[in-house]
Amino acid sequence: MAPAEGLSFHVGAGTEPGFLRHIHWSDQPDVTLFDTGSLPVVAMRHHRTHGRGMVELVASAPEDDDWDALFVNRNGSGTFGIEFDGSHKNLTLHRDLCCFIPAGADSRMQFDSQAGSFVLYFRPGLIATLLESEGKGADGLAPIVGRHLPRVAHLLGLIESELRRPSLGSRLMIDGLLRAIAGLLVSNDELPVTEPAKRIYLSPPKLKRVIDFIEANLQESIGLDDLARAAGLSANHFLRVFKLETGETPYHFLRARRLERARQMLADDAMPLAELALECGFANQAHFTAAFSREVGISPGRYRRAVRA
């Protein structure tokens, strides 16, 4: 078995977390470890495994720092075997097949070397915290040993896309997606029960507090909890009432404000793009350039030259 510490992560990947040293492969995998910054998750794309035939992966849970793991199969067919909690299952490998392995559990998997997956590791205690903040208990969070969960798979796909091409409000968007995934895991991917038609009101003073907080912290990594706290609401309630009051999701509102600040600074300030990126809430210039170009259609440098011509 090859230990994860021997993996050659793709260029631009984040720092390898320690718990990956407890994951062993029978052949060298081809993986990308995404830069998740301040997010409480680690994300990895497994493209394929070098070699032919079946691959075996063994994960031994470390005692000091183990993370919940959520896998979704992205490509590949054939059989999928998983040994977990003293039992063994053989399944047909297909797209959107998901496994949830809670922290503290050992597991063993076998799959075809050409199969690819996306894996999201949750910081210890994160899922319970997300559920508790919405008034849900985490006692129903059971392991998932190979199930077709298209809604969970779709949300994981949105997270992967956002990590590949960060936008002007990535953390806020991913925060919301993580909450949605946690809710689906605890409800076994069933549709959430609709709450009674009782409207929680976001008063103008509370809305102003939220907007003032956004304007004062555009250069920071703003999460859903931050905005909900400013409004004095739970994150789940805040998501609904904010859109009712503004017509936009918090993610789209924040993205628009960061984009407007970026435009103003590009037009009025000679600040280097690397510094300007930090002022607009990005970790680096490359992420800022990619997000700005996607939103506006031209790079920040070209935009600055155009408005100053």
Give mean pLDDT, residues 299-307: 92
pTM for the structure as a whole: 0.80
Tell me the residue ranges of DSSP E strands in 115-259.
116-122, 144-148
pLDDT reported for residue 139: 57
Q: Would the CA dihedral through 203, 208, 213, 214 be positive or negative?
A: positive
According to DSSP, the residues that pair with 38 across neighbouring strands are none
| pLDDT tens per residue, range 271-301 | 999 999 999 888 889 989 998 998 899 999 9
Q: How many CA atoms lie within 13 A of 45 on its CB side?
A: 17
Query: What angle, 0 to 180 degrees and rounded to 10, lies between the N-to-C axes of helices 250-268 and 285-296?
Result: 100
Confidence of residue 80 (pLDDT cuts 50, 70, 90): very high
Domain residue spans in the chain?
2-186, 204-307
Strand order in the sheet with 87-92: 2-3, 23-25, 54-59, 107-112, 79-84, 87-92
| pLDDT tens per residue, range 32-65 | 999 888 889 999 999 999 888 899 999 887 767 7
22 vs 11, higher pLDDT:
22
Read off the DSSP letter of residue 124.
T
Tokens of residue 179, six digits: 């909450």
Domain 204-307 in CATH 1.10.10.60:
yes
When the candidates are 3.40.50.720, 2.60.120.10, 2.60.120.890, 3.90.1150.10, the CATH number that belongs to 2-186 is 2.60.120.10
12 vs 263, higher pLDDT:
263
pLDDT score of 189 more than 50: no
pLDDT score of 128 more than 70: yes
